[in-house]
Amino acid sequence: MSAPLLCEGRVVVVTGAGRGLGRAHALAYAAEGARVVVNDLGVGLDGAPGPGSPAGQVVDEIRSAGGDAVAHGGDVATTEGAASLVRAALETYGRLDTLVNNAGFLRDRMLVNLDEDDWDAVMRVHLKGHFLPLKHAASYWRAEAKAGRPPVARVVNTSSGAGLLGSVGQGNYSAAKAGIVGLTLVAAAELGRYGVQVNAIAPAARTRMTEGVFASMVAAPEGGGGFDAMAPENVSPLVVWLGSAASAGVTGRVFEAEGGRITVMEGWRAGPGVDKGARWTPAEAGDAAVKLLAGAEVPGAVYGAG
């Protein structure tokens, strides 16, 4: 007897699902029985319009494998695009259970060369592109809860190691991904009363955005066998579980996923401290800080530093 499908009957929205991680997530959800809304604007790595959205191709893949999916080509970093994304799920399938925020692109520059437009564009797609779909999905789930139909809702946001530790040449991207962690924590705290769990992943995988970073890594052993540690499909099982009812009780967490490794990331928390009970002088504050740092954990290295 085969095991039950983890997401049987659930309706899942995945943004940026035409390629890379998003595509892998959409296919993995469909394989576990979910009906999937595949969102992709079809732009290039820099956010400029591409020759056509690949969302339809992913839908065709899902349907050819016996699954159920529909394409959505709206811009989720706009109010109308995000609202129409939620409507697409409701009008097509009558419900929405899981939102996976994944859309993004890069405009890498060292800080002194980073234009304001490049900063704004990355913030818009990554951070605003998480906020708006989350806002509209949450409004639907809140209404359901208030109507006496409490949802078993899940949100999986996409951060990055760059957002947790920083990454040289990616000040805009690192700041946006750090902001997504903050948004995740607030959403988990605010939406839990409505039956919504919100978590984030920090994935490491070979995609269009990271192919330069992983260019020197071998995709798989010669002959086609073995384990491709950088395949985006390695990240999707955790994303599927977080988006399923099986993840009950898990919220406000950040997971790093790379290859066959899953790590719970532990963020800012109080370390060594001292209370004088009165105002410090600058010299006293400096002496205290030096003593505290001597007993504190050394922070992780910024990617690309040194």
Residues with catalytic function: 160, 173, 177
Q: Which two tokens stand for residue 204?
A: 């490491």
- Residue 268 CB contacts under 8 Å (≥ 6 apart), including other chains: none
Specify the DSSP class assigned to residue 53. Answer: -
The answer to whether residues 156 and 291 touch, using CB atoms and an 8 Å cutoff, is no
Specify the DSSP class assigned to residue 109. Answer: B
Please name the residue ranges forming H helices in 72-200.
79-93, 116-122, 129-146, 161-165, 171-191
H-run or E-run covering 20: helix 20-31
Q: Which two tokens stand for residue 222?
A: 């010669």
Give the 3-state secondary structure of 282-303.
Answer: HHHHHHHHHHHHHCCCCCCCCE
Whole-angstrom distance, CA of residue 165 vs CA of residue 158? 15
CB-based burial of residue 86 (10 Å sphere; 0-12 exposed, 13-18 middle, 19+ buried)? buried
Alpha-carbon torsion (31, 32, 37, 41), positive or negative: negative
Pairing of strands 261-265, 254-258: antiparallel
The answer to whether residues 181 and 158 touch, using CB atoms and an 8 Å cutoff, is no
- Residue 66 CB contacts under 8 Å (≥ 6 apart), including other chains: none
H-run or E-run covering 30: helix 20-31
